[in-house]
Amino acid sequence: DAGVIQSPRHEVTEMGQEVTLRCKPISGHNSLFWYRQTMMRGLELLIYFNNNVPIDDSGMPEDRFSAKMPNASFSTLKIQPSEPRDSAVYFCASSFDRGASNEQFFGPGTRLTVL
């Protein structure tokens, strides 16, 4: 299995631009999580989906952030417009079902720099 796939691995953009991060979960997993990691705030859960449906988006910082999961094999996290404070590493993770004891498998992350 290829694991969780994220693209791009690195993104550099200018303030005000739209940014779209992409994630392909492990086949057969039906829960998907988006995290943001910064030195100041550590690892934060932004949103998670179960069976393609958003279950909890309370971690999404503001309306500039949106996430979709149109099918079981693809999800996007969009930031529009981007700001320098959005600079972080964004991780996508997937797990088999939504059980709390289930291991989450993380992708390699997208390092976003907003100038």
Interaction site with other proteins (CB under 8 A): 4, 31, 42-43, 45, 48, 50, 55-56, 91, 93, 98, 100-101, 103-109
Instruction: Pick the closer one to other proteins by CB: 14 or 103.
Output: 103
- Give phi and psi for 86, each to the nearest 5: -85, -5
Helix (H, G, I), strand (E, B) or coil at 84: helix
**Min separation Cβ 59 and other proteins, Å:** 9
Nearer to other proteins, 85 or 98 (CB): 98
Toward other proteins, which CB reaches closer, 35 or 65? 35
Instruction: Supply the minimum distance, in Å, between the C-beta of residue 107 and other proteins.
Output: 5
86, exposed or middle or buried, with CB in 10 Å at 0-12, 13-18, 19+? buried
Minimum CB distance to other proteins smaller for 16 or for 28 = 28
Amino acid, single-letter form, for residue 84? P
Residues with Cβ < 8 Å from 26, sequence gap 6 or more? 1, 3, 4, 94, 105
Cα–Cα nearest to 15, from 110, 85, 115: 115
Closest approach, Cβ 87 to other proteins, in A, equals 16
Least distance in Å: CB of 16 to other proteins?
A: 28
